[in-house]
Structure 1
Amino acid sequence: MQQYYFNMSVSYEECQRFYRGQTKFVLVTDDNGKKIQLLFSHFRPYIDSLGIRGRFRLTLTKQATFVQLEKIN
């Protein structure tokens, strides 16, 4: 398993682009500078009235298949 840590801050208005079908992916940069493209839908449980804010841990298999996205604070 591979784990990546990153901070995320996306406004509620930007999240609306996902619901309107204008955005399917989001590009994040982990703490070591690695860029990772994820389906925006993985962030759905973390959207609130402010959008998405917080620190996250992404877990992937060794083949880079999605396992889990967790908000860690």
Structure 2
Amino acid sequence: MKSYFFSLNINYLDCENLYLPQLNTCMMTSDSGERVQLPTKNLRPFVTKTGIQGRFRLLVDENNKIKSFEKIA
């Protein structure tokens, strides 16, 4: 499995875009500089009244299928 690490700091107003029907994915840059496309549904559980803040880890299998996306700090 491959791990990607991210630091996210997204304000609440920008998080509203995660619920737009035409926006199914978002592109993020990992700490290693790799660009990773993630379905917006994976970010929605982490939205709070201030937005999304913290450190996250994405685990994918050898076929780049998401195994987990979790907040680590």
Q: TM-score, normalised by structure 1?
A: 0.90
Structure 1 stretches (4+) deviating beyond 3 angstroms? none
User: Residue 18 of structure 2 contacts residue 44 of structure 2 at CA under 8 Å; is this kept in 1?
Assistant: no
SS of 2:14 mapped into structure 1: helix
**% identical aligned pairs:** 33
**What is the CA-CA distance between 1:24 and the residue it aligns to?**
1.9
1:14 counterpart residue number: 14
1:53-64 residue pairs with structure 2 within 5 A? Answer: 53-64=53-64
Aligned length: 73
State TM-score, norm by structure 2: 0.90
Structure 2: gaps (5+ residues):
none
Once the two structures are superposed, what CA deviation does each residue of 1:5-54 show, in whole Å capped at 9, x if it has no partner? 11111111111122232522111111110000101110111100011111
Letter in 1 for 2:64: A
RMSD of aligned alpha carbons = 1.1
CA contact (8 A) 2:3 2:60 kept: yes
